[in-house]
Amino acid sequence: MDFSPLKPTAEMLQKQTRPHLGFRQDAWLRLKKNRAALAGLSIIVFISLLAVFGPMISPYSYSDQTLANANQPPSAAHWFGTDNLGRDLATRVCYGARISLAIGIVASLINLGIGVLYGGISGYFGGRIDSVMMRIVDILYGIPLLLYVILLMVVLKPGLLNVFIALGLVYWLRMARIVRAQVLGLKELEFVLAARVLGASPRRLIFGHLLPNSLGPIIVTLTLSIPEAIFIEAFLSFIGLGVSAPMASWGVLASEGVVTLRSYPFQLLWPAVAISLTMLGFNFLGDGLRDALDPRMRR
């Protein structure tokens, strides 16, 4: 049977169709429709603004001690109240946001710098190189992350710099495994074969073709790893292995608030709310990015 092309009618020409959108534009439109993700993004922006400008506009310092004002409830002078040494809790919570967000940023940079590179090289070369590299990851991954970090902190002694070092040694393992899996699936596709035939070097293939096409899972993993790093720092500080006094980490504030929980519960309330909101914000945003960057959900 012979077929002839359908001639467009005036009605077909006037029919409105969806304009062509690039992948990033389509992902942004889907992200904007996700109310939970936008709420999470708003929380992150709000916490970030508090961390940057809160201690600057506060009339108090995070380390000022005024014993005459010790254990005061929330008031106009001290919005969150004061601790057992008379220090303003609102200022210390805002200052603690700086430390927690710094931990999250450092963790994301570690994931990006070590995990992506390690996983990309392992997945691209495969064979014996991949086997050796991933056996190292499997050995390290066999120990729970929190236990590993606690053991390192016992050896390195408490301190913010040592928290960075402890996270830097082990925090990239999950990212490396995810990137390796992505690269293993992508390197056999036609566009990679075409680039290899045209003489592209392994470096160009990894950084110019494979990793950019793995950007969606990388961004999602990066976003979801930040709250985990914040929780690890808070837990370490809570048990006395993290940030040292007088620095005001959320974990330090929670540890101090537990001591006076029955008499002054507000001293534990504010750092607990700050930790919970930050973790919820990043998790909501990470879930939204996972849906927005999934090509299968594109219409």
| Each residue's pLDDT expressed in tens, for the chain with a length of 299 residues | 566 666 666 665 555 555 555 656 777 777 778 888 889 889 999 999 988 888 888 888 777 777 777 888 888 888 888 888 888 888 888 888 888 888 888 888 888 888 889 998 998 888 899 899 999 888 888 888 778 888 887 887 777 788 888 887 888 888 899 899 888 888 888 888 888 888 888 888 888 888 888 887 888 888 888 888 888 888 888 877 777 766 778 888 888 888 888 888 888 888 889 988 988 998 888 888 877 776 555 55
At residue 20, the pLDDT reads 57
Q: Does residue 63 contact residue 193 with C-beta atoms inside 8 Å?
A: no
Residue type present at position 17:
T
What topology is assigned to 34-54+89-294 in CATH?
Answer: MetI-like fold (1.10.3720)
275: nearest Cα among 254, 289, 292: 254
Contacting residues for 298 by C-beta, under 8 A, at least 6 apart: 23, 26, 30
Dihedral angle over CA of 265, 266, 269, 270, nearest 10: -160
68, 166, 187, 264 from 239: Cα distances, Å = 28, 16, 45, 20
- What is the crossing angle of helices 89-110 and 215-238, to 10°? 140
Entry pTM: 0.77
CA-based max dimension of the chain = 97
At residue 201, the pLDDT reads 85
Question: Distance (Å, rounded) from C-alpha 258 to C-alpha 232?
Answer: 18
Domain boundaries, the chain: 34-54+89-294
At residue 6, the pLDDT reads 62
